[in-house]
Structure 1
Amino acid sequence: MAMAMGDDDHKKKKLHAIMISVPYQGHINPFVNLALLLASKGILVTFVHFEAVHHRLSSFHNLPPAGFNLFAGSGLDIRYTTISDGLHPLDYDRDIHFEDYWKIIMLQFQPRVDDFVGTLIRSNPDFAHFLVADTVFSWPAATAAKYGLVNVSFWTQPALIFTVAYHLDLMKQHHHYPYTDDGDEEINYIPGVKSINSKDLMSFVKEPMETRIINRSTYEVFREVKKADFVLHNTVQELESHTLSALSEYHPTYAIGPVNFAKNLPPIAMARSLWSETDCTSWLDSKPPGSVLYVSFGSFVHTNKELLKELANGLLLSGVNFLWVIREGILGSGGGAAVPEGYEEAVGSRAMIIPWCNQVKVLSNPSIGGFLSHCGWNSTVESIWCGVPMICYPMLYDQPTNRKLIVDDWTVGINLCDGDRVDRIEVADKIKKFMSGDTALRLRNQAQTMKKILKNAVEIDGSSTTNLDRFIHDLKAKMYGHPVNTS
């Protein structure tokens, strides 16, 4: 951990956050909003995007890369710059080639970011620098130590995921990592986790470290995050109080979420989405309140034709109105048509199928009655914020564990399937029950209760606002040589 810098000259220097997110939509959005939050508190921010992301965003706006500034119009002291991931060309599909790409990030990116951070520090000697890096990176502790920086780790997923991964060594001692058994087993020894069933563990916990690069990377990430000075969590204290309390025994820990909905942040002129968005407002406004099922599997996961075929036929048989996001590349490198031939004609005016949209805008529309979701964390938070219950089909990574929170702990959703297989008849039956009757009423009432918890957290005296202020106070104490208040 970084040592405090306590000389009088240093105390006069303005705080400067060097912020670097992994290049995926579910991480970029929270990082952008955290940058706005920190800058609104008087901290200078240098926000570092990957060149490939910058190139993609600028192309959407038909601007030359040199003319694109993500924070244009914010009015805040945020400097926007880019770093190369070392891979060319810029339009190489890093999503489809995720395994190869993440191996490059894991094994080759650290020297590049070390040089970048060192140059940035040397060219700005009048500021007190600290690092705010995505927990998913494995290099921040080493880079922070090299330059004597305070190391702030920002975790963009729920605290439950963090604490399970944080205790992988403990799970290994109990022969639960990797968890390779077929049966269900309750795991009740992880600090901050009352109990979690083996079926709800993250996908990388169920495979040997050597199987995929993400497994090896995650183990190293959570070994290195133990060296962080502060850990910020994009969750809400009231939702995960037991878990967060346990984590605070290891680090100064702050639940500051949902940062995407922090109050009084200035708008920014440039869109941050990595896909062009379709405006669905007119179609949604033509439907009765609560009658539309929104369907999306998020910005990253890939699936197969068989699943989409059964889901498509289940939606058709259900008779409900639905808006379905099928983004380009969802079938991975296999490609091909995502829905059966003639499908859009068969569903007619009760359905709209689009490549991408502004999800919060859609979920906020009164016509939306539910969200069929892959259970990504951003989607989960956005759905709860809008008071929309979920029907869950998790696929991989953190999604099975998020499903546990949604369905079992917070009771704002149901499972799409009772087993592993997706069947159109079961899909249709589940959707009909989810969208109408007693189940729908119960879920919508609970979603409204959860919505209030999130809304209250970001109020002036809310827990997330208070935790952010406490973090900045403790950060200044650490940076300027005073004891850190961890209470």
Structure 2
Amino acid sequence: MEGVLHVLPAHVEELLRRVVLDPASTCLVADTFFVWPATLARALGVPYVSFWTEPALIFALYYHMDLLAEHGHFKCKEPRKDTITYIPGVPAIEPHELMSYLQETDTTSVVHRIIFKAFEEARGADYVLCNTVEELEPSTIAALRAEKPFYAVGPIFPAGFARSTVATSMWAESDCSHWLDEQPPGSVLYISFGSYAHVTKQELHVIAGGVLASGTRFLWVMRPDIVSSDDPNPLPEGFMAASAGRGLVVPWCCQVEVLSHTALGGFLTHCGWNSVLESVWAGVPMLCFPLLTDQFTNRRLIVREWRVGMPIGDRGAVFEDEVRARIEGIMSGKEGEELREAVKKVRATLEAATAHGGSSQQSFDEFVDELTRR
């Protein structure tokens, strides 16, 4: 992580300098957490555009870390546990719904240094582009716009996302299509915890027990390092034999292709923002098991605000009976039917935003117009 602060800039700054000095270049767009491009943009006299890849809610919480600290919810030995009601544009939020780095009492880590520097630069950015949709976070976006030029331009998917399979990770993919083709519509629970987060062996065994007890068909992405690179076979002994005929475990797969398959009925996810958007786009309700950083706050959007998913466990406290009950509820219960109806509505909102004349299209056009008028 230190490399983000000190090593990477030295390797790419000269290349960026040449690109930005090209007469055709009008601005420098960089991920908010890449903290050094803002300095380069200022030095070269071009607008700096902070590209925020997560929801506006999370941007707002990081943006107002000073308020959280002032009120005793952050940067103190014993943070307050009462509801947070004072962040502009953010509905009342519980401390356990904050991003994991805002729940920690030690704020001296390199990750915290990156976060603090990133939002120091974000405050000075000329513009912010955000991978969200205005209709899904209206009050938060309005409050941020009162602070600075803030444009909701999501959902941002790779070109051809809705029409073809697009690799979104460097992990080698397994072809699951033939197995999925053999399963009844809406019968398969897809389980994946993303490309880098880890779970404990105990958590994995509890979830595996719940999956078995539910009797549900499943497709489980089991990265070789999901627990540790020293433990390539972390599933409980006998799990594969007990689930034979109704489950498939693979090291990685094309998530977009899987979520879009008619066999899918639910997604047990770590709540990474890309996974959330992909699941909504595919019309698949979610079971939420966040592991770190923004995922706890994303769960709040999924469960409390959009009502397109249900929670499982909370920060290390997960129980087999709960996992089983949640799986049964989303796959065959009334809760699942209600979630599927809700996710259709949110999907329609995403589609409308990206269509011609939609809010995200208009927001991006406004950004371009503002940029070209400078």
1:420 Cα deviation from its structure 2 partner: 4.3
Q: Is residue 232 of structure 1 aligned with residue 129 of structure 2? A: yes
1:388 to 271, 280, 284: 284
**2:225 matched residue in structure 1:** 329
With over 3 angstroms needed to count, the CA separation of the structure-2 counterparts of 1:177 and 1:264, relative to structure 1, is: closer
Counterpart in the other structure of 1:107: 6
Structure 1 residues 230-281: Cα deviation after superposition (integer angstroms, max 9, x where no partner): 100000110011111111112211111111077899989x855311111211
Indicate the residue corresponding to 1:306 in structure 2: 202
Distance 1:340 1:265, change over 3 A: closer
Q: Which residue does 1:116 correspond to in 2?
A: 15
1:160 corresponds in structure 2 to: 57
Task: Map residues 48-127 of structure 1 onto 2, 5 A cutoff.
Answer: 102-121=1-20, 124=22, 126-127=23-24
Matched-pair contact (CA < 8 Å) for 1:204–1:397: yes
Structure 1 residue aligned with 2:94 = 197
Structure 1 pair 179/266, CA: closer, same or farther in 2 (3 Å)? farther
Q: 1:403 aligns with which of 299, 303, 320?
A: 299
Where in structure 1 are there 5+ consecutive unaligned residues?
Answer: 1-101, 479-487
Query: What is the count of residue pairs matched by the alignment?
Result: 374
C-alpha contact 2:174 2:251 (8 A) present in aligned 1: yes
Q: CA–CA distance in 2 between the matches of 1:212 and 1:419?
A: 20
Matched AA of 2:205: K
- Give the TM-score taking structure 1 as reference length: 0.73
RMSD of aligned residue pairs (Cα, Å): 2.2
Tell me how far 1:147 sits from its aligned partner.
1.1
Residue 178 of structure 1, CA deviation: 2.6
Equivalent in 345, 354, 359 of residue 255 of structure 2: 359
1:32-89 superposed Cα distances (whole Å, 9 cap, x missing partner) = xxxxxxxxxxxxxxxxxxxxxxxxxxxxxxxxxxxxxxxxxxxxxxxxxxxxxxxxxx
Using the TM superposition, give the Cα deviation of residue 210 of structure 1 relative to its aligned residue in structure 2, in angstroms: 3.9
How far 1:419 moved relative to its partner?
A: 7.7
Asked whether the 8 Å contact 2:198–2:291 carries over to 1, the reply is no
Q: 1:395 to 1:265 in 2, by over 3 A?
A: closer
SS of aligned partner of 1:332? coil
Q: Which amino acid aligns with 2:231?
A: G
Indicate the larger mover: 277-286 or 170-179. Answer: 170-179
- Which residue number corresponds to residue 37 of structure 1? none
Question: AA paired with 1:189?
Answer: Y
> Conserved in 1, the CA contact under 8 Å of 2:224 and 2:232?
no
1:151 equivalent to 2:63? Answer no
8 Å contact kept, 1:257–1:464 = yes
Q: State the TM-score, normalizing by the size of structure 2.
A: 0.94
Residue 450 in 1 paired to residue 346 in 2?
yes
Instruction: Find out whether 1:464 has 2:363 as its counterpart.
Output: no
Do residues 260 (structure 1) and 162 (structure 2) align?
no
| Partner Cα separation in structure 1 for residue 292 and residue 77 of structure 2 | 15
Q: Work out the CA distance in 1 between the residues paired with 2:7 and 2:28.
A: 20
Q: Which amino acid aligns with 1:324?
A: W
Measured in 1, the distance between the counterparts of 2:66 and 2:249 equals 45
Kindly indicate whether residue 269 of structure 2 is the aligned counterpart of residue 373 of structure 1: yes
How high is the sequence identity, in percent, across the aligned residues?
A: 43
Verify the 8 A CA contact 2:20 2:27 in the aligned structure 1: no
Deviations 1:148-174 (A, max 9, x none): 121111100000000000001121111
Note the C-alpha offset of 1:113.
3.4
